[in-house]
Chain A
Amino acid sequence: MMSNKIALISPRSCFFLKREDKNLILDNLTGFDVHQRYWSGLTSAFPILASLTPSEFEIEIIDENIEDIDYNKDYCMVAVTAMTQQAIRAYQICAEFRKRDIHTVIGGVHSSFETEEASLYADTVVIGEAENIWQILLSDLKNGTIKKSYDQKDYPPVDLTKVLIPRYDLLKNKNYKILWLNTSRGCPYDCEFCSVTNFFGKKMRNKTIDQICNEIEFVKKHFPRILIGFGDDNMFVNRKHAYQLLERFKELNFKWVAQTDISIGEDKEFLKSLFNAGCQTVFIGFESLDEKNLEEIYEVGKKLKKDFFARYEGMIENIQSNGIGIWGAFIIGLDNDTSQTFKTIVDFTEKANLLGAQITVLTPLPGTRLRKRLMEEKRLLPTSWENYTLQNINFIPKNISYQDIENGIIDSMKQIFSEERRLKVAKYFKDIYINLGKD
């Protein structure tokens, strides 16, 4: 009789530098643990799949970052998800299970864009969002008719208002410090370096307010002390929906962090609501402080973004003076970047008193316009997917050397996460909270 156990595996990953010696420097920086915390946890993909799995199957979620895989366990199927940096490890895992005649499935963003490659290593490839595929795939598995690939395009579009509460309870033994939820999918901006618009579409799709609140209550029940992170790529694009959401968040009384764009900095009423609703920190992709670079990155909303660029300082001040910290995200290696760019970013971070900042290396991920352009310009390096950490270089930069990028990241992080800056930022926010208390 066929086993009913399915393993959902997230392969080991490395989202910092691949150099152990340099990672050690970062590990010892003041407050860098917060940075690492924001980069930890699991996406909601597996809890979603588990919620869709009929009870005749037993699901085991394995995060290889925190636990080992038992290749000799009696699984009827193993499904692996991978971002580009995890792809090679995902293929190794599939190979081990295939040796044992266990059916392997691969899904996620990398294999959706590199389908041919993924099909060499896994028995089945799932392309795109899996919600309307998963139950059919399991039924085919049971009937011995499972296919080589399942493409979202061949199935009805995923209606987010119909999805069930993901089975976050299955993550209980993982001891995560942050749990990532999603309220929406899609992004209208289609930035050159990002594959989100290509994967999820330009049109924003939102869960209903009730759905989101039920999900939060479920998480709070199982993880009463956890920090909730909203992984939506831009959570407040639909401002009317966001206002309604914040009203309900106030009642739910929890702390959370989210990703958004700088435009919220002009809506003072919204910022008040955001703080009162428990929002603690927002991640904002500034990407670059160079107008020419911004011109290259954005296809949609170029004019608006350039307009914001001129008013960054005031907008940042508005957000942080409402008690919400900003974690700024910057990219290095854009065509107009030079060795001076690091100084510009560090100076900006210091002047604006940003709570935190991260600098990632421009990375030509599959599914992006950037990869296509660099390929046409013959600037892609023949590096392994393992090198796609967002901290390593996989293309030929125009005006900055590899060495400058590698050294610049470490030096900048040392300044951004220095004790001196921590104390300055602490004092800055203390004054803010004193003032907010007087209101």
Chain B
Amino acid sequence: MDNSKKMIDEVKAIISKITRIDKSMIMENSSLREDLWIDSLQAIQIVVSIEEEFNIKISEVEIFNVDTVMEVVELVEEYKGGKNDV
């Protein structure tokens, strides 16, 4: 598995763990709000898990501004690449 695919898989696993939705139901283009119906509490839990998993610090606000699972992955990539918004 290349790095990008690995990260997508890890982000999906985190979302699955927090939302308790089966991982197979979570697609890269799934909308957090419209398809997975993630609310603010779950979004914050996802941020905390991502920080722990990828050893980064991201602003809890940014998760409210992304729409799809892939956009969460891109956000993680940005922070891993050096963005530090906190």
Chain A proximity of B25: nearest CB distance (Å): 6
The answer to whether B20 and A429 touch across the interface, beta carbons within 8 angstroms, is: no
The answer to whether B41 and A429 touch across the interface, beta carbons within 8 angstroms, is: yes
The answer to whether B40 and A433 touch across the interface, beta carbons within 8 angstroms, is: no
Q: Taking CB as reference atom, which chain B residue is nearest A226?
A: B37
Does any Cβ of A come within 8 Å of B77's Cβ?
A: no
Chain B proximity of A409: nearest CB distance (Å): 22
The answer to whether A255 and B42 touch across the interface, beta carbons within 8 angstroms, is: yes
Q: In whole angstroms, what is the CA distance A326 to B40 when docked?
A: 13
Q: In whole angstroms, what is the CA distance A278 to B21 when docked?
A: 12
Q: In whole angstroms, what is the CA distance A177 to B7 when docked?
A: 28
Q: In whole angstroms, what is the CA distance A242 to B22 when docked?
A: 26
The answer to whether A227 and B37 touch across the interface, beta carbons within 8 angstroms, is: yes
Does any Cβ of B come within 8 Å of A423's Cβ?
A: yes
List A contacts of B20 (CB < 8 A): 253-255, 278
The binding surface of chain B is classed by DSSP as: helix
Chain A: interface residue count, which band? 20 to 34
What would 5 A/B residue contacts be, using CB atoms closer than 8 Å? Answer: A177-B37, A226-B37, A281-B39, A430-B60, A437-B48
Hey, which bits of chain B sit against chain A, CB under 8 A?
19-22, 25, 33, 35-37, 39-42, 44-45, 47-49, 52, 60-61, 64
Contact of A355 among B19, B36, B41 (CB under 8 A): B41
Q: Taking CB as reference atom, which chain A residue is nearest B35?
A: A225
Contact of B39 among A34, A226, A323, A434 (CB under 8 A): A34
A239-279 CB contact bits vs B (8 Å, 1 = yes)?
Answer: 00000000000000111000000000000000000000010
List B contacts of A433 (CB < 8 A): 44-45, 48
The answer to whether A225 and B41 touch across the interface, beta carbons within 8 angstroms, is: no
Does any Cβ of B come within 8 Å of A11's Cβ?
A: no
List B contacts of A33 (CB < 8 A): 33
